[in-house]
Structures are given as C-alpha cells and as structure tokens.
Amino acid sequence: MDMTIRAEPLGRNVIEAILARRSVRSYSPDKLGHSTVSTLLEAAVRAPTAMQEEPWAFVVIQDAQVLKQLSDRAKPIFVEEVRHRNTQGNRHSFEHFDKPDFDIFHGAGTLIVICAKPAGLFVVADCWLAAENLMLAACDMGLGSCVIGSSTSVLNIRKVKAELGIPDEYSAIAPIIVGVPSVEPEPVPRKEPVILAWKQ
C-alpha cells in the first residue's frame, strides 16, 4: 500500500549533508507528499545562477505507470547509445538494462526532471547546480536521491516531452529520483583532491 510521506529536515549542517549524501538505488514504495517536493524545489531554485538567468523549470512524475513506461522506453535507447559509443575502458556493465524487470528508477516513487531552454552559455551548469542543491536538501530530510542519466535521451524525445507536458523549446537536463531508501547505502571512498597548482 502506497503511503504519502512528509519528510522534515534533520538539521545537518552543510558539510554533514555533503558527506552523508549517497546515490541511492533501492527505495521503499512510499510516495513523497506535495510539501516535501515543494521544499526540494525551493532548495533547487536557491542555487547559484549565471547572470541571474534562473533558467530551470521542473517536471515532477509520481505516477507509477508513467515511471514504468519511461523505464521500459529508456532502456533500449540507452543500451544502444552505450554500444554505439563503445567507450574504451568503461568499468561499468550495462547488461542488466536488457532485463525486462530492471527498473532504471530503482523503485523510487518520485522523479524530478530539471529542464531549461538551452539558450544561454551557462544554462546547463545552472541546472546541475540546482540538482546538487535538491539532492543535498533530500539528504538533510533523510531521503535518498540519484541522478538517472540513462533516462535523459528518452525524456528529450518530442513525443515523450509532449506526453509529460514539457514544451518543445525546453530540454530535460537533470533527471533525479527521490524517495525513502529501503537500504542504507554504504559510504563510497573518494580519491583525494587532485591539486594541479596552488600558488601562494
């Protein structure tokens, strides 16, 4: 049974939220409430923006059937893109994308797509800054999030955009799932910062 949940901030400071954030790939079926999603969007639009353009616009998808259809349509497109690029030294296997029951959204009940009119020089960068704000806010609210880059191509198909209410002049830039983690992901080690120069 789906339950609509309202997540409240845990009160982490910024550094704590940055260090606690993980890419979550397993979710409970709980659906995020309207106020929770609104809080995440409010955090997103507080991101830095070049020349005060604020180019972002959002599509929120919480319909389970729509999410399943998007996943089913995205998988073959993404697999074909990967095969076409045939990137040398790619460490990731995408064989699971061929499985009919694999869900690219990992069971999350909410997909937030950050869109923009790709006109300005820094529009894409602005949208990704908004994405990071949204994910850090989600972390502070005890929620999981993950960028689903494999859905970007299908989200930019004209027919799909029309179905989702994305105007023709907009592009889907940052698709992010958000929800209640069903498993707490383990910390992932990161390399030390590579400092190319430090002039004092």
State pLDDT tens for residues 17-29: 999 999 999 999 8
Q: Is residue 159 part of a domain?
A: yes
Q: Is residue 121 part of a domain?
A: yes
d(CA 39, CA 37) in angstroms, rounded, equals 5
DSSP letter string, 75-117? HHHHHHHHHHH--TT-----GGGGSTT--TTTT-SEEEEEEE-
Task: With a cut of 60, say whether residue 1 has pLDDT above it.
Answer: no
Count of structural domains within the chain: 1
Of the two residues 184 and 75, the one the predictor is more confident about is: 75
Q: Is residue 55 part of a domain?
A: yes
Across the strands, what pairs with 23? 145
Q: Is residue 199 part of a domain?
A: no
Q: Is residue 14 part of a domain?
A: no
Across the range 35-59, mean pLDDT stands at: 97
Across the strands, what pairs with 112? 60, 176
Domain that holds residue 145: 24-85+98-179
Q: Is residue 172 part of a domain?
A: yes
Q: Strands, DSSP E only, in 125-170?
A: 144-147
d(CA 130, CA 44) in angstroms, rounded, equals 4
Task: With a cut of 70, say whether residue 92 has pLDDT above it.
Answer: no
Q: Residue 39's domain is classified under what CATH number?
A: 3.40.109.10
pLDDT band at 93 (very low <50, low <70, confident <90, very high): low
What is the tens place of the pLDDT at every residue in 125-169?
999 999 999 999 999 999 999 999 999 999 999 999 999 999 999
